[in-house]
Amino acid sequence: MPFSVDDDAAPLLSLPFSLLEPDFDFGFGFTPWQDSPPPPCDQTGPGTEPERSLSPPEPDRAAGPSPAEERRLRRMISNRESARRSRMRKKRHLEELRSRLARHRAENRELAARLGDAAHLSALLPRNSDWLRAEF
């Protein structure tokens, strides 16, 4: 059932929210029609600690990366290349397996057909043998 608006309520819907309920608050400390939320309050006090960054402090970039940072970057690049080569190897291996599967299925169909022919011929042999015995 679609939503319908009473004729009495239609004029109210055209009014801005601030005129309808100026003190309305969604619980975020500001109303949605304000330009921006109020600045965050400082929540440091007894029992709370100021926020700390989880990352180590940034070294001076003017001197360039440290030797440890260079090793880490080289190792990261090397690991990415190794992972790329591994994915390519895995892809080639999967393609080879699929190719082998197709060959084996074709061979299996051929062998099944040959087996069916052999079974058919072996079923005919006793009849032919009985017919030859009856002739002589």
Question: Which residue ranges make up each domain of the chain?
Answer: 67-135
Q: How far is residue 15's CA from residue 6's CA, in Å, rounded to a whole number?
A: 15
pTM: 0.42
Residue with more model confidence, 72 or 136: 72
Q: How far is residue 119's CA from residue 133's CA, in Å, rounded to a whole number?
A: 22
* pLDDT of the residue at 23: 52
Do 60 and 69 form a contact (C-beta atoms < 8 A)? no
Backbone angles phi, psi at 5, to 5 degrees: -110, 135
What is the helix, strand, coil percentage profile of the chain, to 5? Answer: 60, 0, 40
Q: What percent of the chain has pLDDT over 90?
A: 41
Residue type, 29: G
* pLDDT of the residue at 127: 81
Q: Which of 13-27, 54-68, 80-94, 96-110 has the lowest mean pLDDT?
A: 13-27
Q: How far is residue 15's CA from residue 22's CA, in Å, rounded to a whole number?
A: 12
* Report for 33-37, 63-67, 108-112: range of highest mean pLDDT: 108-112
Task: Tally the C-alpha atoms within 13 A of residue 21's C-alpha that lie toward its C-beta.
Answer: 6
Distance of CA 95 to the CA centre of its chain: 22
Q: What percent of the chain has pLDDT over 70?
A: 54
Do 25 and 17 form a contact (C-beta atoms < 8 A)? no
The predicted-structure confidence for 47-83, as pLDDT tens digits, reads as follows 555 555 555 555 555 678 899 999 999 999 999 999 9
